[in-house]
Amino acid sequence: MNYLTGNNKEEYTNTTSMVTSANGGVGLSASATVTVGEQMDCDNKDLEVSAPGTVSTPCSFLNHGATDTMFSASRLPPGTQASFTLLSQSPIVTKVNMIITTSLGTSSAHSPGIGTMLPFYAALFPILGLVGLGLGKRKSRTRLRLAMMLAGLALLLAFVGCGGGSFQNATPAGTFPITVTATSASTGQSASTVVNLTVISQGPQH
């Protein structure tokens, strides 16, 4: 009987042989082979999801009678979470639903455009005028330094206001192999399988 499907199977085999009883009788012993599927398996090994979005697949674990099975997912891409909800529990198999959630993320700032740079240019013109005025005076060198400091400060404020355009907590597009693991603390049994997650990104929100 196959409880789980997969390539790594456990076989329990009894052999057939001639046996002789104590009173001299001769006969055949019974034989049987029971094949049990993978210790850990998920129904869908290739998942596809957009960002943001959710996708799920049932996963099963051959628990050997344990009732304290814990499931986890590792090697998740940034901005992605995995959760598990119990579907069924038997003395042989624990079945859960793995739910993977991706996030679109937000941009901390945007690249400056012409409209956002106009205030900077407007502030820069008087500074340049001070530079020209300072060059014709006795203390031109001091005023020139002051003007350059003010221009540098205006440039710094403009850059901070426009930001560097970095994105936070966004799930990147691509295909990621995720390792799903089931572990029983009471029996020490542990098994894992790999699920390929393909993320289709829609781009960050501002």
Looking at 16-20, 85-89, 140-144, which range is the least confident one?
Answer: 16-20
CB-based contact 96:66 (threshold 8 Å) = no
pLDDT at residue 7 tops 70:
no
- Residue 185 banded pLDDT, cuts 50, 70, 90: confident
Quick one: pLDDT at residue 33?
39
Residue 128 three-state SS: helix
Spatial strand order in the sheet of 69-74 = 46-51, 190-201, 174-184, 69-74
CATH topology of domain 39-106+168-201: Immunoglobulin-like (2.60.40)
β-strand pairing of 46-51 with 32-36: unpaired
DSSP 139: T
Q: Is the pTM here over 0.85, yes or no?
A: no
Contact (CB, 8 A) for 193 and 96: no
Domains in the chain: boundaries: 1-38, 39-106+168-201, 109-165
What is the Rg, in whole angstroms, of the alpha carbon atoms belonging to the chain? 34
pLDDT-derived band at 155, boundaries 50, 70, 90? low
Q: What amino acid occupies position 32? A: A
Average pLDDT value for residue range 179-188: 93
pLDDT score of 10 more than 60? no
Q: Report which DSSP code applies to 33.
A: E
User: Which residue intervals of 56-189 are DSSP H helices?
Assistant: 114-135, 140-162
Q: Of 73 and 31, which is predicted with more confidence?
A: 73
Q: Which of the pair, 85 or 3, is modelled with greater confidence?
A: 85
In the block, residue with structure tokens 């790999």: 194
Token pair recorded at residue 49:
């999801």
